[in-house]
Chain A
Amino acid sequence: MKQALYVGIAGAIGAICRIGIGQLLEGSTDFPIKTLSVNLLGTFILCLLSAGVIHRLTTDERLQTSITTGFLGSFTTFSAFSMETVSLFQNGQLVLSILYFSSSIIGGLVVGIIGLRIGNRMVSV
């Protein structure tokens, strides 16, 4: 029960950071660069941490879950990604919609693999 409370607090901070960082990237483009940026950044950090780096940061399992499931889980978002893909499509921006959809998936896989590799290297030294 206590774990859920910590995940919730970390989740609240993650959600505020997601919107805060998004605002720094405010631009005139229709391309949802804010969501793409937080999703790729969060994916990179989570994969880096899950390669074992998290155990070097802290041995407290409650804190580990708060950082990964709570903070990073809430910092990144899937629902906005779905909604923005649909909005672009509905506005007739078919190319941007496909570009957003594919760059999120391919970009996510690429930064995830890079995160895992760097993480593995960090724990093996």
Chain B
Amino acid sequence: MENFEPKIIGFLCNWCSYAGADLAGVSRLQYPANLRVVRVMCSGRVDPTFVFKALDGGADGVLIAGCHPGDCHYSDGNYNTMKRYPLMLQVLEQMGVDKRRVRLEWISAAEGPQFASIVNEFTEQIRQLGPFKKGERTERGAEVG
């Protein structure tokens, strides 16, 4: 466990969060290299299938980041993400996945420092949770029936 380096997949929206990550980079802010970034046009494009597939394929955590509500380049995409996120968490719990492994954040193009601190914090959280083992038992996964 001590040498555990979490694998985290980050789906970042092209217009805000990816630019925020870029700003963190050009500002030379330090954050862990555990995040593997996938640039998507909009957080609304992040089908829950992507998240499930990432976890199924060996990720320990998934970060979805998009524009702040009201700022979406496609006006509504991030609202769709916001609305299905709690439903996705419920299903994850029932499937026996700790919902702390999947996180949604709004990060604007100007928020380089926020991006770095979110990645720091989330990486630390996943480190605490340990490697994602299929079949980890959650309250909901064991209770529903």
Answer yes or no: are A and B bound together in one complex.
no
- B interface, CB within 8 angstroms of A: none
- A interface, CB within 8 angstroms of B: none
